[in-house]
Structure 1
Amino acid sequence: MRVRDRSRHRSRHRLTAGLTTLLLPFATLVALGGSAQAAPSAAPKAAAAGATATYQKTQDWGAGFEGKWTIKNTGTASISSWTVEWDFPAGTRVTSGWDATITNSADHWTAKNLGWNGTLAPGASVTFGFNGSGSGNPSGCKLNGESCDGGGQPGDAPPSAPGTPTASAVTDTSVKLDWKAATDDKGVKNYDVLRDGTKVATVTGTAYADSGLTAGTDYSYSVQARDTADQTGPVSTAVKVRTTGGGGPGPDPGDKVKLGYFTNWGIYQRNYNVKNIVTSGSAEKITHINYAFGNVQGGKCTIGDAYADYDKAVPANLSVDGVGDTWDQPLRGNFNQLRKLKAKYPHIKVLWSFGGWTWSGGFTDAMKNPAAFADSCYKLVEDPRWADVFDGIDLDWEYPNACGLTCDTSGPAVMKNMMQAFRAKFGANNLVTAAITADGSDGGKIDAADYGGAAQYTDWYNVMTYDFFGAWDAKGPTNPHSPLTDFPGIPKQGFNSAAAIAKLKAKGVPAKKLLLGIGFYGRGWTGVTQKEPGGTATGPAAGTYEAGFEDYKVLKNSCPANGTVAGTAYAHCGTNWWSYDTPATIRAKMAWAKEQSLGGAFFWEFSGDTASGELVNAIHEGLK
């Protein structure tokens, strides 16, 4: 029997209507915000005098970019349709587009207007855009078969990225920024200064003093150069700045960590949005959020669900601040909602969690080069589009030098090597944490890797003290999935929270770096006649999303608890038998965590709680 830490619904990686555009052939690529109408088949009217097409690279994140073309009619007659053609260097491709039909033949690309944006009156202009991979610099531009004749012409490349800003003279309300100049073949005209991704100033030099800030608050600054043709280049790497005073953005050093996982797929069937953290009253009672999950592929950290993460337009009624997303804003989806949440509750820190049960298989390959792996993750977490959203990274490898969904045989030192590489890359000002096994059995998963040696590089461990037992053993015996302590008849010694915490302490992990895990769900069997633990079953009980699994918010009403064992509640109703934590058992577990001098607690995950956040409140009250 094995510990199945959070094996359940992590694999629900959804492709949605908004994301399927990325998978279509380029011959059918259409606007995300427009109609799917084909471009006109009639030959386009020649550009003639006064019609221009100008290219701008609006974003650059290393492996990819966002580009925009602007077609402007500066002549005296209307244009009834337009076609823009250009060549990209080998290896540069359009991956998704909007407001045009974009096709290609090898490295030659063609964009045609849609049915609704082809006509341009004198003086009018229209834009279309796309995301791409590669360098993103076009050449050989033609508009309706003629020269494009605009700034941003082939031969006039956009400026380079400026240097990362350096912060100095930080006060309660101001900061001074300096950066190394960008380069451009025809000269740099000025720089846009971006605070938390929004432009706050345009300056001609390489310095700027920002003021009017809030004391004790985190800010992220980056800069972007503009050349004499008004093209903007890639955004610089961001620098994080915290103003002085104000008591700081997070909990006091003596406070306990109260962390919850928010799943990107939860916005689909579960309809649990970032706003629900506010409406449930939980935002005031937590200190940290782990955003789950990013993937680990090809030795690198990668996006988990682009549509949910940063592309989905969130309507006003589901938005944290009551303001809906627009089609053209640079960041949407959960990331933008987390940004809004942090603005409203500045004490909350957000970490991006990578891996999980389903996506842990990529860690083995990634750890063949720990420094390169850490660098790839840093670049993704600190992407200028959302650098201000995240305060660090959580690594959820299930399990180093052991087996989960897949098996790893990298050796016991691999955990220490990983955490050391990530601390070196992310530095002291970012949080670096890990979700780890709670298998405290002799020769079990805690013994398989050097968690003690890795602890010096980690801010804390999320010890997954749940899923010890469940209906993957279909015939039973029925036992609590998250026992706090040993109990008579326990099927495997060491499979309880107290054993796991004791073993980690014995290996040199400081108590303050251990968080106790709480599951906001139950595990259950059916075909059970015995009320007490240890009964036989015929299989997993029916659940809303998967057999043998159900949210607390459902179980509290459908199968109320009628007993406790090893600090965890259980319920026998009809022929079903469930175990889960209640507000009462959670408060007792929090009291135990304080007795053990643990750093706090975390839970999986927000959407299992009630609409009033009663389990989050139990953690909050219990850790006071």
Structure 2
Amino acid sequence: MSTETPRRTRFRLGSGTATRSRAVAGLTALLLPLAAMVGMASPAEAATSATATYLKKSDWGTGFEGQWTVKNTGTTALSSWTIEWDFPSGTGVGSAWDATVTHTGDHWTAKNVGWNGTVAPGASVSFGFNGTGSGSGAATNCTLNGASCDGGSVPGDEAPSAPGTPTASDITDTSAKLSWSAATDDHGIKNYDVLRDGAVVATVTGTTYTNTGLTAGTDYSYTVQARDTADQTGPVSGAVKVHTTGGGDGDGDGDGDGDGNGGNINLGYFTDWGVYGRDYHVKNLDTSGSAAKITHINYAFGNVQGGKCTIGDSYADYDMAYTADKSVDGVADTWDQPLRGSFNQLRKLKAKYPNIKVLWSFGGWTWSGGFGQAAQNPAAFAESCYNLVEDPRWADVFDGIDIDWEYPNACGLTCDTSGPDALKKLTSALRTKFGSNNLVTAAITADGSAGGKIDLADYAGAAQSLDWYNVMTYDFFGAWDAKGPTAPHSPLNSYSGIPQDGFNSADAIAKLKAQGVPASKLLLGIGFYGRGWTGVTQDAPGGTATGAAPGTYEAGIEDYKVLKNSCPATGTIAGTAYAHCGTNWWSYDTPATITSKMAWAKNQGLGGAFFWEFSGDTSNGELVSAMHNGLN
């Protein structure tokens, strides 16, 4: 376990350990409306009436996300509010936000916090919580400010259902027509809100809408939300993605995608836990200049639990509020906006850099243990992943899914015995569910040794359903072997004295090609960090050591941005730099070695390259620049 944050651990990617997330509560975010409209005026405020609405927003089996909304339906301001209700035995409130929640037994009380007690006429405030237990029972016996929650106005009124997922037609350079099936409601539908990329762009009374004024050659995502005659909004529909016609290349590389990369993929991992101790946010991709030089982002990680895809860190992912100075567009989050956190920041980044595609990566070293159960029912796994990635709250953010199973039918943090065809079955199910309009990729081992991990699974068969593999060609050697010998953790090729045959990029790529994986579906992996030992007297690789070198967050590992100054490179071996300073010995990639590796990748006909991960680079993104320039 790393000392950096409880969400983080280290693991081997190529043959052993690198950086992956350990996160908090998971949510399989399906919008599942629950019942009860409630509310009323405090006896002390006879001119004020109010309602309180309870909504179960999602349910993941052992818990759920709930939300209460207080709406002032009167003519004078509400100065404070207190909601009380009963939950069935075994159901309760875990963590809550925007309210102070207490309980006595199964009776729960929520009071406003200092800043959201005043509710103007016609206005609403909401607070949410992560519930514990099955969450199957509704909240009962509700009171608002000591009186009945239904307010005596619309007893039993339920929110409208979700409209059907829109379909798009008549798409031009600047417009698109949307159509959807009607929602239902016990008192009738008043109108529909049309949302583009999560923001309302129109309110219409019918079930069609034509959005004009769009930009040619641009991706958009649309959802629809119904509003009933009591002005309640229901859950958002599924999302439809629209790509307007026209546009053009615009970047001079001739491939028509506007990314300036000539068709070569330049992908980087962004970690959810980086927003904590590292203080690294999506905005850093913009200010460093890296966003203009990449094609794809893998957001790491979602969890795999019970054979299903689940949320990794709900706070970092979609709830963390951003101040203006840390927001991509300089606009601060508000307390009541529907999506915050890194997901919303990625949405803003994509608006600024429309060529970037974002994939949600699931698994990693810590969370790969769930793939074995997923392989027992691939269709159910794919369904859960699709429902989570395409959740209407953030469907426009993601362009596909990446799975990081370490390792199929082999041993990583745990050992898997699901069989050599398990990965193929899983990727086939994902492709069937996600379809051809979404990206489906996988991060895989780079163990090219005889009888090693590549030999234990049908990577060629699985590749038929995938857009590409991220081959983790780093972490071959490190201070988990405390006494050495010292060796580069990301050797491009073999060399005399290498501690393990087959532990290098060239052998791994050659083995995958020999299996039948097309070169164009292979990306070369680069680590934006070094691995090191201490107690070393020998400058050249192959020296003995006494243990792991000190690191900022964990012994034996350090970011490139630190090492370039604290321990500059003193030599190169197998295409990777190494450095001997004092008694410490480090290996890491530099702009020069990355340039050489990119040339090698192009010569091999690979689809491009990827890296782990953004925060290890300098503030001006010099490693990303080296990859971009090398691929072009």
**TM score, norm. by length of structure 2:** 0.88
| Match of residue 573, structure 2, among 565, 583, 594 | 565
- Equivalent residue in structure 2 for 1:427, among 435, 460, 467: 435
| Rounded Cα–Cα distance in structure 2 between residues aligned with 1:152 and 1:234 | 22
Q: Is residue 338 of structure 2 the alignment partner of residue 330 of structure 1?
A: yes
Q: 1:69 to 1:270 in 2, by over 3 A?
A: closer
CA 1:93–1:251: 2 relative to 1, 3 Å: farther
Q: Please, which of 12, 17, 20 is the counterpart of residue 7 of structure 1?
A: 17
Work out the CA distance in 1 between the residues paired with 2:550 and 2:543: 18
Distance 2:84 2:155 in 1: 12
Q: Is the 8 A contact 1:94 1:130 kept in 2?
A: no
1:453 corresponds, among 446, 461, 464, to: 461
Runs (5+) with no aligned partner, structure 2: 1-10, 27-40, 249-255
The one-letter amino acid paired with 1:264 is D
CA contact (8 A) 1:50 1:73 kept: no
Alpha-carbon distance between aligned partners in 1 of 2:386 and 2:443, rounded to the nearest angstrom: 18
Measure the CA separation in 2 of the matches of 1:252 and 1:339: 21
Q: How many angstroms apart in 2 are the aligned matches of 1:346 and 1:419?
A: 27
Cα pair 1:14 1:265 within 8 Å, conserved: no
Q: Is the 8 A contact 2:261 2:628 kept in 1?
A: no
Using the TM superposition, give the Cα deviation of residue 368 of structure 1 relative to its aligned residue in structure 2, in angstroms: 1.5
| Change over 3 Å in CA distance of 1:120–1:54 after alignment to 2 | closer
Structure 1 position 371, deviation (Å) = 0.8
Report the AA paired with residue 618 of structure 1: A
Q: Confirm or deny: 8 A CA contact 2:86 2:142 kept in the other structure.
A: yes
Query: What is aligned with 1:597?
Result: 605
CA distance in 2, matches of 1:59, 1:224: 17
Q: 1:352 to 1:565 in 2, by over 3 A?
A: same
Does the 8 A contact of 1:250 with 1:349 survive in 2? no
Q: Give distance in 1, aligned partners of 2:401 and 2:258.
A: 16
Aligned residue for 1:10, secondary structure, equals strand
Structure 1 residues 311 and 380: alpha-carbon distance in aligned structure 2, compared to 1, 3 A threshold? same
Distance 1:174 1:75, change over 3 A: closer
1:52 pairs, out of 31, 49, 52, with 49
Which string of whole-angstrom CA distances, capped at 9 and with x for unpartnered residues, describes residues 256-290 of structure 1? Answer: 00001111111222121111111111111110111
- 1:615 match: 623
> Which residue in the other structure is 1:501 paired with?
509
How far apart are the structure 2 equivalents of 1:11 and 1:65? Answer: 22
Is 1:487 the counterpart of 2:484? The answer is: no
Q: Is the 8 A contact 1:57 1:232 kept in 2?
A: no
Q: In the aligned structure 1, how far is the partner of 2:277 from the partner of 2:351?
A: 27
SS for the counterpart of 1:457 is coil
Distance 1:267 1:201 in 2: 34
Relative to structure 1, the CA distance from residue 94 to residue 200 in structure 2 (aligned partners, 3 Å threshold; closer, same or farther) is farther
In structure 2, how many angstroms separate the alpha carbons of the residues matched to 1:12 and 1:216? 38
Instruction: With a CA cutoff of 8 Å and minimum separation of 6, indicate the structure with the bigger relative contact order.
Output: 2
* Deviations, residues 369-424 of structure 1 (Å, cap 9, x unaligned): 11111111111111111111111111001100000111100000001011101001
Check 1:590–1:486 CA distance in 2 against 1; reply closer, same or farther (3 A cut): same
Range 6-15 or range 436-445, more displaced: 6-15
Name the structure 2 match of 1:311: 319
Q: How does 1:341-360 map to 2 (within 5 A)?
A: 341-360=349-368
- Aligned AA for 1:527? G
Shift of residue 142, structure 1, vs aligned partner: 3.3
**Could you tell me how far 1:306 is from its partner in structure 2?**
1.4
Matched AA of 1:69: T
Number of aligned positions between the proteins: 595
Deviations 1:565-605 (A, max 9, x none): 11111111221111111111111111111110000000111
The Cα offsets for residues 99-154 of structure 1, whole Å up to 9 and x where unpaired, read as 43334567754433446665779x58663322466579656543344334548844
- How far apart, CA to CA, are the structure 1 residues paired with 2:189 and 2:136? 20
Provide the C-alpha distance between the structure 2 equivalents of 1:416 and 1:206, rounded to a whole number of angstroms. Answer: 41
Partner of 2:69: 69
2:126 is matched with: 128
Q: Distance in 2 between matches of 1:152 and 1:468?
A: 67
Question: Which residues of 2 match residues 17-96 of structure 1 at below 5 A?
Answer: 46=43, 49-56=46-53, 60-61=57-58, 67-72=67-72, 74=74, 82-86=81-85, 94=93, 96=95
- Distance in 2, matches of 1:136 and 1:580, equals 55
The residue type equivalent to 1:53 in the other structure is A
Q: Distance in 2 between matches of 1:437 and 1:564?
A: 24
| Superposition pairs of residues 191-340 of structure 1, within 5 angstroms | 191-247=192-248, 251=259, 255-340=263-348
Residues 209-232 of structure 1 show CA distances to partners (whole Å, capped at 9, x for unaligned) of 111111111111111111111111
Alpha-carbon RMSD across the aligned residues, in angstroms, is 2.8
CA distance in 1, matches of 2:418, 2:627: 36
Answer whether contact 1:214 1:243 (CA < 8 A) is retained: yes
Cα distance change, pair 172–523 in 1 and its aligned pair in 2 (3 A)? same
Counterpart position of 1:169: 170
Change (3 A) 1:11 1:2: closer
Structure 1 residues 271 and 120: CA distance shift in structure 2, 3 A: closer
Q: 1:255 is paired with a residue of what secondary structure?
A: coil
Contact 1:525 1:541 survives alignment (8 Å): yes
**Which consecutive unaligned segments of at least 5 residues does structure 1 have?**
20-43
Alignment correspondent of 1:101:
100
Identity of aligned residues (%): 72
Give the structure 2 partner of residue 36 of structure 1: none
1:143 equivalenced with 2:144 (yes/no)? yes
CA distance in 2, matches of 1:515, 1:604: 12
Q: Within 2, Cα distance between the matches of 1:590 and 1:103? A: 58
Q: Check if 1:367 corresponds to 2:407.
A: no
Q: 1:163 to 1:250 in 2, by over 3 A?
A: farther
Identify if the C-alpha distance between structure 1 residues 271 and 82 changes in structure 2 by more than 3 Å, giving closer, same or farther.
closer
Q: Which moved more, 1:541-550 or 1:455-464?
A: 541-550
- What secondary structure is seen at the aligned counterpart in 1 of 2:20? coil
Q: How many angstroms apart in 2 are the aligned matches of 1:57 and 1:191?
A: 21
In 1, Cα distance between equivalents of 2:204 and 2:53:
19
Provide the rounded CA distance (Å) in 2 between the counterparts of 1:119 and 1:534: 69
Alpha-carbon spacing, 1:486–1:567, altered in 2? closer, same or farther (3 Å)? same
